[in-house]
Homo-oligomer: A and B are copies of this chain.
Amino acid sequence: MRASMLSDWLAQRIERTGGQPIYRQLYGLLQQAILSRELPAGTKVPSSRLLASELGLGRNTVTQVYEQLALEGYVWSATGQGTFVSDSAPDEIVGAESAARNAAPAEPRVLSARGARLLQGAGVSQRQGGAFMPGVPDASRFPAAVWNRLQSKYWRRLRPDLLTYAPGGGLPKLRQVLADYLRTSRSVHCTPEQIIVTTGIHQSIDLAVRLLSDSGDVIWTEDPCYWGVRSVLQVSGLSLKAIPVDAEGINPSADDLADPPKLMLVTPSHQYPLGMVMSLARRRMLLEFARQNGCWIIEDDYDSEFRYGSRPLASLQGLDTAGQVIYVGSFGKTLFPGLRIGYIVVPEGLSASFATASAELYREGQLLQQAVLSEFIAEGHFTSHIRRMRGIYGQRRQILLDTIRKRYGDALEIVGGDAGLHLVLRLPDGVDDREVAKTALGVNIVVRPLSGYFLRPGRDMSGLLIGYGCVPEEEIGPAFEKLAAVLDPALGIRG
């Protein structure tokens, strides 16, 4: 196309009514003409005055478009001489020839090895509630009015300092009330400075393993364990060694003990998903072993606030005198998952490093929410909410236990029902729990197969994780009937 034809070409294409703004249309059309070489490099384009008059547009519009195109390199101007189409052909890829000669053909565009493994092992579900989703609390009982009152108070008197990036570690006030809470209710010994506020257990563990281990280091995990943590560890390049659990918790063999890992990740208060409590003897052995061999223990205390029939247990961190335990917890189960506030308690000498690294890696914010949470705790709403929910969950748990017993008597063992938001219904060996879970999903019932939590092949047990936290009392019976209808054929029971 010759420059003289440009006005006509544009006039035919500009939509005067109903289209995009004229500015955008003109810009887009000129860009298209240049990229397609309809306007070849070196072409002198009409002056903005001329083009504006030919198209019946304001001159400012055309000037702005030309300036924009110049800024992006589509055209260039020479003072007094006019505006010319740039040579928009790609810069020559110097050296590309030799690269093509030497290198293997371009790799196909697929995920990395660690990416592919992550997706292959992904345990996350599209469903985030309903019967019998494990690990999900009942957010409908959250005291929303209280929260809204506290939150609105902060938003009404805008505090810009609460809207900016969080300095490493989180809001000092929240760290203060958290230190009190953890000392009183979890026997965690720490100063506020040792607490780093995070977005939850995933981020806490990510931070700890990145600061305390290198790619290729070995970490002991309990077998079985939580799928989400597994993924976080694996993408950080750690080599996972699955250590079986027995009735007293993680149970390393003599061979295991002869080969100390860099880190271990345990759930002493409530093994996930089987629910046992780590014995005192086992706790002291782990601490001593870690001290002797310089390994780190990450204590994941994800839901021990909900314990039925006994008070929450003291933490492993509280027994640690050598500064080897990293304690992680979260408000996801006690308040609501979407809040995304958790915490990590680190040994004294590490607090500055963790605070800085957290800010550096995640560039966190959410200080206003942290302020709201601090007041929510300080005014006593947190503990009273936990107390209330413990009652509700306890009742749901009892209804579920009764329902299971009524249906199956003692034929199926129930494991880990003393605490938390789920229990495990053991199935006889040989029953394919993944198949049962899949069929159950077909009738809109979510259960998770126990075998999926095991890392060592051949060591897995068959069973179903049944969550009762987010299931209203009246729905538990009917939902379990649906599950039983799926389960019976798998158990060889005829209807």
- Pick the contact of A99 from B138, B258, B337, B362 — CB < 8 Å? B258
Q: A31 to chain B: which residues have CB within 8 Å?
A: 314
Does A91 have its Cβ within 8 Å of any Cβ on chain B? yes
Is B124's CB under 8 angstroms from A136's CB? no
Set of chain B residues within 8 Å of A203, measured between Cβ atoms: 362
Q: Is the CB of B148 within 8 A of A90?
A: no
Assembled-state Cα–Cα distance A136/B288 (Å)? 47
Which of A5-13, A49-57, A114-122 is the interface stretch? A114-122
> CB-CB < 8 A to A147: which residues of B?
155
**Which residue in chain B gives the minimum CB-CB distance to A122?**
B360
**What chain B residues lie within 8 Å of A92 (beta carbons)?**
285
Residues A99 and B260 in contact in the complex (CB < 8 Å), given A72-B314, A353-B115? yes
Interface residue tally for chain A (C-beta within 8 Å): 136
Give Cα A99–Cα B367 distance, bound, in whole angstroms. 46
A114 to B147, CA, bound (A): 40
Do B119 and A357 have beta carbons less than 8 Å apart? Answer: yes
Q: Does A37 contact B (CB under 8 A)?
A: no
Give the distance to chain B from A40, nearest Cβ to Cβ, in Å.
15
Contacts of A260 in B (CB 8 A): 99, 103
Please measure, in the bound complex, the distance between the C-alpha atom of A301 and the C-alpha atom of B24, giving whole angstroms: 20
Judge whether A74 is part of the interface by a CB distance below 8 angstroms. yes
Min C-beta distance of A73 to chain B, whole Å: 4
Kindly state whether residue A493 has any CB partner on chain B within 8 Å: no
Number of copies: 2
Task: Tell whether, in the assembled complex, residue A363 and residue B64 are in contact, meaning their CB atoms are under 8 Å apart.
Answer: no
Quick one: closest B residue to A365, CB to CB?
B338
Scan residues 334-360 of chain A and give those whose CB is less than 8 A from a CB of chain B.
Answer: 336-340, 347, 350, 353, 356-357, 359-360
Question: A205-213, A407-415, A440-448: which lies at the B interface?
Answer: A205-213
Q: A167-B128, A228-B363, A293-B103 are in contact. Are A113 and B281 (CB under 8 A)?
A: no
Q: Does A259 contact B (CB under 8 A)?
A: yes
CB-based nearest B residue for A106: B294
Q: Is B118 a contact of A361 with CB atoms below 8 Å?
A: yes
Is residue A383 contacting chain B, with contact meaning CB distance below 8 A?
no
Residues of B close to A24: CB separation below 8 A: 184
Question: Given A292-B96, A340-B364, A365-B339, are A114 and B214 also a contact pair (CB < 8 Å)?
Answer: yes
Give A203's nearest chain B residue, CB to CB.
B362
Q: Select A124's contact among B86, B89, B360, beta carbons within 8 Å.
A: B360
A-B pairs, 3 with minimum CB distance = A338-B365, A106-B294, A73-B280
